[in-house]
Structure 1
Amino acid sequence: MLDSYIFISDFPKAFVDEYVHWLDLGTGEVEFRPVESPWTPDPSNWRLVVHNTDGAPSLFRKIPGDGAAPVDLIDIRSATFQMISHLLSALESPEHIIITCTLDALEASLSRLHLVFFVNQTSEFECRSIPGYVIDDFQSCGTMFGLKNQLVLRPSHGSLEMPRRVIIPQGDIKFGSDGDFASVSIQTGTARHVQWHEYTIDTDLGRLTGNVSLHSKLYQCYLHALTSHCLPDPLLVLSESERVCALRAE
């Protein structure tokens, strides 16, 4: 059994903390066994194969037992990992992001938030947990300016009937100022599970709407208060006549 510390900075944190590592001295292969079953080998476990002599690259792969295609882990130092982790950095730090690929799929898992993203057929990064929504190129919901930790999604097919959405994680809120504007960040620390809130961007009424939980609404109010400015946010700027027309249209 190997000490986990030797894998720090080379693998996502989950592969360091949630697995025990067994080295086969004969083959040079390292098997990653879940901490729940450290003494039980399994052909479907993640395995690290290091090639030192034949010039072949090292391989970290999982072969599912159901006959599915092998799954490879994307190196955290690769350009692919850097690009994708940057897209998701508003929700999660790189050390907690797991990016894998098969012959026909590329997927990023944010296990602490129970969110999964994948590259769809149109080469957009779609959220599997919220089907039909992809990461928007325009990362602004029209309000809460200065909030660093929010990810805006849009409908993948560009439908005007489906509104954009914003995901905001739950955590310790730190706030300060950046020039004349607020700077607000949400720190999730070392929590094993991270809660998140989803809000719909209602451009007709100029507001964010969320679920019916009081906690979600209070969280939204607090973030609005921290990011408020003397100038009104574009989303919230809606004349009284426009509000009446929008309400009548509903």
Structure 2
Amino acid sequence: ENRQYLINRSSSFFKNLFTKYFIRLDSESYVYMLAENDIINIHLSRLGIAFKYSSQHNTITSREYSDMHVDDNQCFGTLTGLRSGLLLSPMAAIEHKNRHQLCRKLIVPYGEIRISKKPDRYHQTVTINRTSESKSPFLHKYFVFNLNDRLRILQPTDSPTGWLYLALLHAVTSHCLPDQYTGMTGMERSFELLNSAGSWSDQPFDPVCRQILLQIAIISPQVNYYPENNQSMEKIEWNPDYLPYSLQHFGYYLIAKKLLEASEEWNFMYSTSATPNNDELEQLFKSKKYNEKLLMKLYWDYRDSYNPLARLSPQMEAEIQRTSIASSYKPIWENSWGC
């Protein structure tokens, strides 16, 4: 009869494994380990996934992906600064077999994105807050992204939720320089995902998608006129403790709202329970925190400073040109006469 023994969380063995790998997925209270002979079964109870540590081979294999193990090197050249997520590599990679056919996987838990920036560091740090069950009842969810080494991109496995979440992660981990793995900035890859068909839906978004859209929308700075009934002064409230100002793209709010509107065009075909009303996302779009017409104007003013991949779709840009009544900024020398 094989007996299993619960490993003490205060032991050095538990703490070493947890702090090196599994803290990237969930809190310590949701991780437990059971010893059985020379095998350690590692369970993440809230996420519902498990791993197996072999002391003989010194490897941690996945229960859900039995042919994959936890990679010792958790750096993969993109999503820089993200402190959550566990990288899995195929077991065949250890023996260097069929390397051209291998596909690594990244497991990322769902939660509220937190961004911090220290003065002595060149890149922001991104963590996923998973402590508030009442605020987010979907903390049992996680996403799996495939690393396509031929295309040099991360690929979501479910649509549209995975596409939106990956776009959010790329947006908040972006930098002015391109990522080593993708060859593009996080902002470029984020808009590439948001503009692609995988992010759009012809049925109402579920609550998880709506929470992700909310986090995408608030990346844009809050803009309004001052005073509000006059257009003589533009007020932009950049978030100094968030992303660098150059990465707080004006288009995130606009495309998030457009995605929501497109998903609600066929609302009459679905039950009212499938279309949440007056949630945080709905309140944001109804509030006066963002002057949408001014946001369109500012997007157009800054448009040429964005790389072509980090722009709204041609259809959205054409719509902005039709609906925006405010005149865009023009340098003074364009109106001056030469001598």
The two structures have a TM-score, normalised by structure 2, of: 0.48
Contact 1:176 1:182 in 2 (8 A): yes
- Partner of residue 155, structure 1: 90
Q: 1:182 aligns with which of 124, 141, 145?
A: 124
CA contact under 8 A between 2:146 and 2:157: conserved in structure 1? no
Unaligned runs of 5+ in 1: 1-67, 239-250
How many residue pairs match? The answer is 171
Aligned-residue CA RMSD (Å): 1.7
The Cα shift of 1:180 comes to 2.1
Q: CA–CA distance in 1 between the matches of 2:73 and 2:128? A: 20
Name the structure 1 match of 2:74: 139
Displaced runs of 4 or more, over 2 A: 120-123, 190-193
Unaligned 5+ residue runs, structure 2? 185-339
Counterpart CA distance in 1 for 2:24 and 2:86 is 6
CA distance in 2, matches of 1:81, 1:212: 33
Contact 1:188 1:194 in 2 (8 A): no
Matches of 2:113 and 2:147 in 1, distance apart? Answer: 22
- Does the 8 Å contact 1:126/1:134 carry over to 2? yes
Indicate whether 1:230 and 2:191 are aligned.
Answer: no
- Bigger proportion of residues as helix: 2
**One-letter amino acid of the counterpart of residue 80, structure 1:** F
**Aligned counterparts of 1:174 and 1:119: Cα–Cα separation in 2:** 31
Q: Which of the residues 105, 108, 112 maps onto 1:165?
A: 105
Secondary structure at 1:85's aligned position in 2?
Answer: helix
Q: How does 1:15-54 map to 2 (within 5 A)?
A: none
Normalising by structure 1, report the TM-score.
0.64
The reply to whether residue 101 of structure 1 matches residue 35 of structure 2 is yes
Q: CA deviation at 1:202?
A: 1.1
Map Cα deviations across residues 93-139 of structure 1 (whole Å, 9 max, x no partner). 22221111122421110010111011246220111111111111110
Q: Describe the SS at the equivalent of 1:143.
A: coil
Higher strand share: 1
Percentage of matched positions with identical amino acids? 27
Residue 220 of structure 1: how far off its partner (Å): 0.5
The CA deviation at 1:212 is 3.3
User: Which structure has the greater CA radius of gyration?
Assistant: 2
Contact 1:74–1:81, Cα closer than 8 Å, also in 2:
yes
Partner of 1:110: 44
